[in-house]
Amino acid sequence: MLNKEKSKGSLMTAMQIKHLSMLHLSDTHSMHRQLTKLPDADMIVHSGDFTMAGTEQEVFDFINWFCDLPYRHKIFIAGNHDDCLYGAELSGLDDNCHYLCNSGINIEGRKFYGVPMFIGDDMSGKYKEYLSDIPNDTDVLITHQPPLCVLDYDGHRHYGSPGLFEKIQIVRPRLHLFGHIHAAFGTSLSNGTIFSNAALVDEQYYFVQGRIAALPIFRL
In the predicted model, what is the mean pLDDT of the chain? 92
User: Does the pLDDT value for residue 14 go beyond 50?
Assistant: no
Tens-digit pLDDT profile for residues 161-199:
999 999 999 999 999 999 999 999 999 999 999 999 999
Predicted local distance difference test score (pLDDT) of residue 17: 57
Domain boundaries, given as residue ranges, for the chain: 19-219
User: Does the pLDDT value for residue 102 go beyond 50?
Assistant: yes
| Secondary structure class of 127 (helix, strand, coil) | helix
Quick one: what percent of the chain has pLDDT higher than 90?
A: 90
User: Does the pLDDT value for residue 6 go beyond 60?
Assistant: no
- How far is 140 from 177, CA to CA, in rounded Å? 7
Is residue 181 within 8 A of residue 164, CB to CB? The reply is: no
**Stretch (H or E) spanning 177:** strand 175-178
User: Does the pLDDT value for residue 214 go beyond 80?
Assistant: yes
Interval 21-28 mean pLDDT:
98
Tens-digit pLDDT profile for residues 107-126:
999 999 999 999 999 999 99
What is the fold of 19-219? Purple Acid Phosphatase; chain A, domain 2 (3.60.21)
Interval 119-134 mean pLDDT:
96
- How far is 217 from 198, CA to CA, in rounded Å? 11
Is residue 154 within 8 A of residue 183, CB to CB? The reply is: yes
Is residue 113 within 8 A of residue 140, CB to CB? The reply is: yes
Furthest C-alpha separation in the chain: 63
User: Does the pLDDT value for residue 3 go beyond 70?
Assistant: no
Tell me the pLDDT band of 8, cut-offs 50, 70 and 90.
very low
Establish how many alpha carbons lie within 13 A of residue 210's alpha carbon, considering only the half-sphere containing its beta carbon. 3
Question: Is the dihedral angle over the CA atoms 39, 41, 46, 47 positive or is it negative?
Answer: negative
Tens-digit pLDDT profile for residues 30-88:
999 999 999 999 999 999 999 999 999 999 999 999 999 999 999 999 999 999 999 99
